[in-house]
A and B are shown apart, each in its own frame.
Chain A
Amino acid sequence: MNRLTQPGWVRGLLSLVFGLALGSQGLAFLQFLATKTYNPFDVGSWVLGSVVAALTFFAGAGGKKVFHLALMRGLGWQFLGTLAGGFLAEFLRALLPDMEPFGKFGFSEPAWVLGAIVGAVSFLAGAGVLTDWFKWAKGESTPEHHHDPDGWEKYFGVSLDHKVIGVQYTFTSLLLLSYGGLFALLFRTELAKSGMQFLDLNVYNTLMGLHGMVMIVSILLGIAGVMNYLVPLLLGAPDMAFPRINAFSFWIAVPAAVLLLSSMALGGFDTGWTGYPPLALRAPVGIQMFYVGVWVAGWSSILGALNLIVSVLRLRAKGMTAFKMPIFVWAAVATSIISLTATQMIGLAFQLVIFQRVVGMPFFDAAKGGNPILFQHLFWFYSHPVVYVFILPGLGIISELLPVFLRKPLFGYKWIAMSSLAIALVGFLVWAHHMFASGMNEYLRVPFMYSTLLVAVPTGVKFFSWVATIWQAKIPRDMPTPLLFVFAGIFVFLLGGLSGPPNATVSTDLHLTDTYFIVGHFHDTMFGGYVFPFFAALYYWFPKVFAKRLDEKLGKIHFWLMTPSFIFLTLGMMKIGLLGMRRRIADYDPALGFDIWHLLLTISAYLVAASVLIFFINVYKTLKNGEPVTGNVWNSRSPEWQVPSPMPAYNYDRPFEVVGEPYDYGVPGSTYVKM
């Protein structure tokens, strides 16, 4: 039998095994070159081997045509671009006196940095993201729209359709979510018992740092996915304002993700996701890949936010005044204002450390007039507001879905809309509450305490408005999966919110900062503000995107497995944090008596992971065997549900007009849009 006539999945599986072996052992060999010890079971090599395996699986299953997809061309070019940039830097270094060529990991550190940047740009050129702009620069014209191929291939090519880009974002986000989750499971397994089990200290720190940053990028791509798909539909627009910038914003996140993961092959980094100098100045070369990866991913956020704000300002349907916009659009605007204006700060902070490491500019070296605390200000000036980037769209989803399922207007629409903006603005004034114990000027701590406590006010407005929306509503007897995730989102975000004020008042925070309490608090805000609403959105809009409805039974198993495990996980983290468990430690003193707690937390983490696996199975089964549903599945008033699923290219045949309030459920004779 001819090899090529075998079914795709057999070829895919064989290629997967081949890719895993090749990838993991290739990288273990690279480690051997650097350290002179060959460890075939090196965790970092296997994780990166799995990336290679995913590609070979894809190539094996899909056959030759896979190599013509933009994704594969981009990755090939990124590889070549990295080599080109690296050799260019080595050549330039050879011209300078006293420069040792090459280094422990093949290239020297400056060569890896230049290679990484050239590689990322090469990816974009190779994938074809820049083609139209190149043509315009040469004076050639291009068609206004490009025709996407039919079927799954369009999701792997450069599309200008916001719906395709939305799915691409969401898919990439879920892929990174799986990696971030895998990293968490690895180090949670290590923590199940005191003493070091199977990870070495540097690998532990690398996994912990990557868990943080990979999840952050995953969340940024997840909200970008939901916003990209939905906002033009909600506005009644044919696409985003700048379709090519939209494609650019998505595609630049792909080489960024590759760079982030590749830090593992170059010695990792022991600094955690915050990358604080002076520790970061001593970390292995891997930290440069981490910094450059985040720097590149920042472009995605900034340009995506710009595109979204312009789209909302310019492309609203007739009659859609500010206070007639769907509430999710308000949340998307608030979140984009933060992304557009704060992301530069983390890029800059990381860039300064790159410069200090590569060319010796002593920004953070106290002995040469630098200041290590300056980095923390720059870092948190982005990294605090960005948590509102993560949660505002999720809170918007909660506000968007509650009225649909409860058949009741959203209580205090204007106040909820304004509270999103208020959170975004106050969010800019609170960054130094991460630094109460840092040694910054002591008098600064009190004003930052007040501004931080102030966040509770607009957040409270959201909670009270949700409670008033739910009060006396006819809650469905058999709760649909999206509504379950909405309710759990409210509850978990409440736990995150209520555990916040003790971190705001300075003296209590001096006990809590840098402990597991913060880890528990933070994960509650992220899951309540992002993960639960994100899953609600996936279950809710899946029939719109693919015209198939996810299985309710599996959805409920997913929900009931994930929710109690997760709540136990974070409350347990908070408890041992209060009792003395520090964050970011690979091992803990058995005398503290935390062993049993950590074992239980590890089991909970596995249950959460299992529930997400069930979600993936649900998606696979539904796409393969699901019954087509094209109608208004949830009986919503929102415009995207008034037309059959899936949406055609360029969305609505004819523009619609807004003639009423978005959430007037139960008001006789009212409609929101006239199609």
Chain B
Amino acid sequence: MRNLKHYLAIAVLIALVSVLTYLGMVNANLFPVEASAQAVDIDWLFNLQIKLIAFFFALIVVPIAYSMAVFRRETGDTSDSEPIESNTPLEIAWTILPLILVVWLGYIGADNLAKINAADPGALEINVVAFQWKWRFDYPQGFSSDTLYLPVDQQVLLKMTSPDVLHSFWVPEFRVKQDVVPGRVTDYRITPNRLGDYKVRCAELCGTSHAYMEAPVKIVSRAEYDQWIADQTAIAQANAAASAANPDAGRGQKLYESLGCKACHSTDGSGGIGPTWKGLYGSAVALSDGTSVSADDAYLKSSILEPGAQTVASYTAGAMPASFSNLTDGQIADLIEFMKSLK
């Protein structure tokens, strides 16, 4: 073969450049630490992709660079290059081989997706409410937290929803990302496997303060987790008892901000998805069925626990999520106390 030495040379160079590119990329500190079982599988696929990237990078760049170096026009040569029009077997080969490769990669990708989606029936379920611009984590024990505590090596299933706009749950160390959509519940399944402090960062543009919509995520040992749950439950019960006995507008205001009421209800009389709380307490509320009701303690409590039961005129039925039904009597008392303070 006429150009055998050139072909041999680029074959060797392609192999060399592939390996060097691959080594360069895997040593370039491109990924955060792996903090979930899913991240291990996903990083395996990333590694495969990096191998393919390194090879194809070399396959394209080496012959071009080699041509530039070796076949460069001699000074003073004004003749045309040797005309090579096409080579059908070659064209077919570089259509069919990549086709086989992408089908194979698709198969690997589907298999990898199935692995990270594998469900553990004993997964720990936590409800997540994302709202402008905070995260709230509702634990099955009946309390809410603004920090996500997770036990290590136990699959968790986050049931996520939003009262306002799209958000997205992303902990870079977990690798997986899932949007939170108003009006529906999306699932996020993860098995944390590395102790430490991380952050969930909202990854779907959700308005002006989107950048700041972050919340701490703590992965702790099983014992530490159980202790934390016990402590939080006790604190929640103590607070509930204290609030029921002695409601406080200050605590109510904190709840207003941390529970997400703020996303829809203003405190200054301006409009929103829900009615303003300013001057609400004790006022006469016109309902969508034409009747009117006085905004007393009983009405306000039932509106929080069963938002769909009565709808204020000109507002949308069902706009308010039912996720507030786990509030304690004490928390509701605090909230009502806060409403009372908004004259």
Q: Which residues of A contact B (CB under 8 A)?
A: 201-202, 205, 270-272, 274, 276, 278-279, 282, 365-368, 371-373, 406-409, 411-415, 437-439, 442, 445-446, 449-450, 453-454, 456-457, 460-461, 463-465, 467-468, 470-477, 487, 490-491, 494, 498-499, 501-502, 504-508, 510-511, 513-515, 575, 578-580, 582, 584-589, 661, 664-667
Question: B246 contacts the other chain (Cβ, under 8 Å)?
Answer: no
A–B complex contacts, Cβ < 8 Å, 13 sampled = A366-B181, A371-B183, A408-B82, A409-B85, A472-B6, A475-B67, A475-B71, A498-B57, A501-B52, A502-B53, A505-B112, A506-B110, A584-B210
Given contacts A504-B109, A580-B172, A587-B212, 10 further A-B contacts (CB under 8 A): A282-B165, A372-B183, A412-B91, A415-B91, A439-B180, A449-B106, A468-B90, A472-B84, A506-B113, A584-B205
Cβ–Cβ < 8 Å partners of B99 in chain A: 454, 457
Cβ–Cβ < 8 Å partners of B81 in chain A: 406-408, 472-474, 665-666
Nearest chain A CB to B106 CB, angstrom units: 4
CB contacts under 8 Å to A, within B47-80, are 49, 52-53, 56-57, 60-61, 63-64, 67-68, 71-75, 77, 79-80
Q: Are B63 and A467 in contact (CB under 8 A)?
A: yes
Chain B 109-123 near chain A by CB (<8 Å), digits 1 or 0: 110110111000000
Q: Of B91, B103, B109, B204, which contacts A507 at CB under 8 A?
A: B109
Bound-complex Cα distance A580 to B201 (A): 9
Bound-complex Cα distance A166 to B292 (A): 66
Question: B337 contacts the other chain (Cβ, under 8 Å)?
Answer: no
Question: B196 contacts the other chain (Cβ, under 8 Å)?
Answer: no
Cβ–Cβ < 8 Å partners of A205 in chain B: 205, 207-208
Q: Of B28, B84, B91, which contacts A461 at CB under 8 A?
A: B91
Cβ–Cβ < 8 Å partners of B68 in chain A: 475
Cβ–Cβ < 8 Å partners of A465 in chain B: 91
Question: B20 contacts the other chain (Cβ, under 8 Å)?
Answer: no
Nearest chain B CB to A204 CB, angstrom units: 8
Q: Are B46 and A508 in contact (CB under 8 A)?
A: yes
Known: A366-B182, A508-B42, A508-B45. A472 touches B82 (CB 8 A): yes
Known: A406-B81, A502-B46. A585 touches B211 (CB 8 A): yes
Cβ–Cβ < 8 Å partners of B110 in chain A: 446, 449, 506
Known: A282-B165, A507-B41, A507-B113. A586 touches B211 (CB 8 A): yes
Cβ–Cβ < 8 Å partners of A470 in chain B: 63-64, 67
Cβ–Cβ < 8 Å partners of B222 in chain A: none
Q: Of A201, A473, A665, which contacts B209 at CB under 8 A?
A: A201
7 interchain residue pairs of minimum CB distance: A366-B183, A505-B109, A666-B80, A580-B172, A585-B211, A408-B81, A201-B208
Known: A276-B205, A439-B181, A461-B91. A449 touches B56 (CB 8 A): no
Listed stretches B234-242, B278-286, B312-320; interface member: B312-320
Nearest chain B CB to A474 CB, angstrom units: 4
Cβ–Cβ < 8 Å partners of A276 in chain B: 166, 205
Residue on A nearest B110 in the bound complex, by CB: A446
CB contacts under 8 Å to A, within B152-174, are 164-166, 168, 170, 172
Q: Of B71, B74, B85, B109, which contacts A449 at CB under 8 A?
A: B109
Nearest chain B CB to A104 CB, angstrom units: 12
Nearest chain A CB to B41 CB, angstrom units: 7
Bound-complex Cα distance A248 to B91 (A): 42
Cβ–Cβ < 8 Å partners of A502 in chain B: 46, 49, 53
Bound-complex Cα distance A490 to B113 (A): 32
Nearest chain B CB to A243 CB, angstrom units: 37
Bound-complex Cα distance A494 to B172 (A): 27
Bound-complex Cα distance A373 to B165 (A): 11
Question: B86 contacts the other chain (Cβ, under 8 Å)?
Answer: yes
Bound-complex Cα distance A491 to B68 (A): 14
Cβ–Cβ < 8 Å partners of A471 in chain B: 63, 67, 71
Bound-complex Cα distance A365 to B106 (A): 35
Q: Are A508 and B177 in contact (CB under 8 A)?
A: no
Bound-complex Cα distance A464 to B59 (A): 9
Cβ–Cβ < 8 Å partners of B83 in chain A: 408-409, 664-667
Question: B105 contacts the other chain (Cβ, under 8 Å)?
Answer: yes
Q: Of B74, B177, B183, which contacts A511 at CB under 8 A?
A: B177
Known: A471-B63, A507-B113. A461 touches B214 (CB 8 A): no
Question: B199 contacts the other chain (Cβ, under 8 Å)?
Answer: yes
Bound-complex Cα distance A505 to B210 (A): 27
Q: Are A494 and B90 in contact (CB under 8 A)?
A: no
Bound-complex Cα distance A505 to B176 (A): 13
CB contacts under 8 Å to A, within B17-35, are 28-32
Residue on A nearest B97 in the bound complex, by CB: A460
Q: Are A579 and B172 in contact (CB under 8 A)?
A: yes
Known: A457-B102, A475-B67, A505-B45. A439 touches B179 (CB 8 A): yes
Nearest chain A CB to B63 CB, angstrom units: 5
Cβ–Cβ < 8 Å partners of A505 in chain B: 45, 49, 105-106, 108-109, 112-113
Question: B95 contacts the other chain (Cβ, under 8 Å)?
Answer: yes
Known: A514-B203, A580-B172. A372 touches B166 (CB 8 A): yes
Known: A367-B319, A437-B177, A449-B109. A494 touches B86 (CB 8 A): no
Residue on A nearest B162 in the bound complex, by CB: A278
Cβ–Cβ < 8 Å partners of A498 in chain B: 53, 56-57
Q: Are B166 and A278 in contact (CB under 8 A)?
A: yes
Cβ–Cβ < 8 Å partners of A272 in chain B: 205
Nearest chain A CB to B72 CB, angstrom units: 5
Question: B254 contacts the other chain (Cβ, under 8 Å)?
Answer: no
Q: Are B214 and A589 in contact (CB under 8 A)?
A: yes
Bound-complex Cα distance A467 to B206 (A): 44
Residue on A nearest B66 in the bound complex, by CB: A471
Residue on B nearest A408 in the bound complex, by CB: B81
Residue on B nearest A514 in the bound complex, by CB: B203
Question: B343 contacts the other chain (Cβ, under 8 Å)?
Answer: no
Bound-complex Cα distance A450 to B116 (A): 18
Q: Are A453 and B94 in contact (CB under 8 A)?
A: no
Cβ–Cβ < 8 Å partners of A439 in chain B: 178-181, 184, 186
Question: B3 contacts the other chain (Cβ, under 8 Å)?
Answer: yes
Q: Are B181 and A511 in contact (CB under 8 A)?
A: no
Cβ–Cβ < 8 Å partners of B262 in chain A: none
Cβ–Cβ < 8 Å partners of A412 in chain B: 86-87, 91
Q: Are A467 and B45 in contact (CB under 8 A)?
A: no
Question: B98 contacts the other chain (Cβ, under 8 Å)?
Answer: yes
Residue on B nearest A200 in the bound complex, by CB: B208
Bound-complex Cα distance A282 to B132 (A): 12
Q: Are B72 and A582 in contact (CB under 8 A)?
A: no
Cβ–Cβ < 8 Å partners of A372 in chain B: 166, 181-183
Question: B194 contacts the other chain (Cβ, under 8 Å)?
Answer: no
Bound-complex Cα distance A202 to B199 (A): 24
Bound-complex Cα distance A355 to B168 (A): 27
Cβ–Cβ < 8 Å partners of A499 in chain B: 53
Nearest chain B CB to A520 CB, angstrom units: 12
Q: Are B84 and A507 in contact (CB under 8 A)?
A: no
Bound-complex Cα distance A666 to B113 (A): 52
Question: B175 contacts the other chain (Cβ, under 8 Å)?
Answer: yes
Bound-complex Cα distance A415 to B319 (A): 55
Cβ–Cβ < 8 Å partners of B317 in chain A: 367
Residue on B nearest A511 in the bound complex, by CB: B175
Q: Of B30, B38, B115, B166, which contacts A578 at CB under 8 A?
A: B30
Nearest chain B CB to A395 CB, angstrom units: 14
Cβ–Cβ < 8 Å partners of A587 in chain B: 211-212
Bound-complex Cα distance A494 to B58 (A): 11
Cβ–Cβ < 8 Å partners of A511 in chain B: 42, 46, 172, 175-177
Bound-complex Cα distance A487 to B65 (A): 10
Q: Are B42 and A510 in contact (CB under 8 A)?
A: yes
Residue on A nearest B80 in the bound complex, by CB: A666
Cβ–Cβ < 8 Å partners of A408 in chain B: 80-84
Bound-complex Cα distance A666 to B81 (A): 6
Cβ–Cβ < 8 Å partners of B179 in chain A: 437-439
Residue on B nearest A419 in the bound complex, by CB: B95
Bound-complex Cα distance A514 to B102 (A): 24
Bound-complex Cα distance A526 to B72 (A): 29
Residue on A nearest B107 in the bound complex, by CB: A450
